[in-house]
């Protein structure tokens, strides 16, 4: 993809980030800075980077499933609106398409579950009433984002994963 920068390679798949992603991070930094100063600005950027690490893992779910069917995956590109894993070819059988499509969202379910277990089996609802620990708040929001990513990606609209299912 043009205008993307290679960050590295994992198991033969290039990880790329589109230059417009920098604009997103700058915008997040400025908006959070205006709300809560320097600590809030860096926390906002850290949260967005964490979300996009989850998006990257989601894409690697698709990649792992595709490789299971012998489909090579040359690269994955992160954009401000999400990620795109490029497959060397399209799946040839409906079952392959199904498995590859659901593999990404299932990664988000696993991430959300692990984070909820890590923070003690809660999504931090009591934090909203009486905030106590900003780390738990951060992780609870990250779990919530992963649940949202699952629901959003499973919408039955092409090119979303649910549309492929």
Give catalytic status of residue 14 as yes or no. Answer: no
Mapping DSSP to helix (H, G, I), strand (E, B) and coil, where does residue 50 land? helix
Cβ burial of 87 (10 Å; 0-12, 13-18, 19+) is middle
Identify any residues that bridge with 79 across adjacent strands, giving them in sequence order: 82
- Find tokens 């497959």 and name the residue: 87
The answer to whether 144 touches 105, Cβ cutoff 8 Å, is no
Omega cis (within 30) before 94:
no
Dihedral sign of CA atoms 31, 119, 142, 14 in order? positive
Identify any residues that bridge with 10 across adjacent strands, giving them in sequence order: 13
Catalytic residue among 14, 59, 88, 97: 59
Tell me how far apart the alpha carbons of residues 165 and 74 are, in angstroms, rounded to a whole number.
23
Question: Looking at the annotation, which residues are catalytic?
Answer: 59
């Amino acid at each position: 993809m043009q205008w993307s920068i290679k960050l590295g390679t994992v198991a033969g798949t290039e990880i790329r980030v589109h230059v417009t992603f920098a604009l997103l991070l700058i915008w997040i930094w400025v908006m959070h800075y205006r709300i809560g100063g320097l600590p809030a600005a860096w926390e906002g950027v850290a949260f967005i980077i964490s979300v996009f690490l989850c998006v990257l893992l989601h894409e690697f779910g698709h990649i792992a499933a595709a490789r299971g069917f012998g489909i090579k995956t040359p690269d994955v590109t992160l954009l401000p609106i999400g990620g795109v894993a490029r497959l060397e070819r399209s799946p040839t059988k409906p079952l392959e398409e199904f498995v590859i499509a659901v593999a990404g969202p299932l990664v988000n379910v696993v991430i959300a579950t692990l984070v909820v277990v890590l923070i003690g089996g809660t999504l931090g609802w009591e934090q909203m009433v009486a905030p106590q620990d900003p780390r738990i708040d951060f992780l609870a929001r990250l779990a919530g984002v992963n649940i949202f990513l699952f629901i959003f990606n499973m919408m039955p609209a092409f090119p979303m994963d649910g549309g492929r299912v």
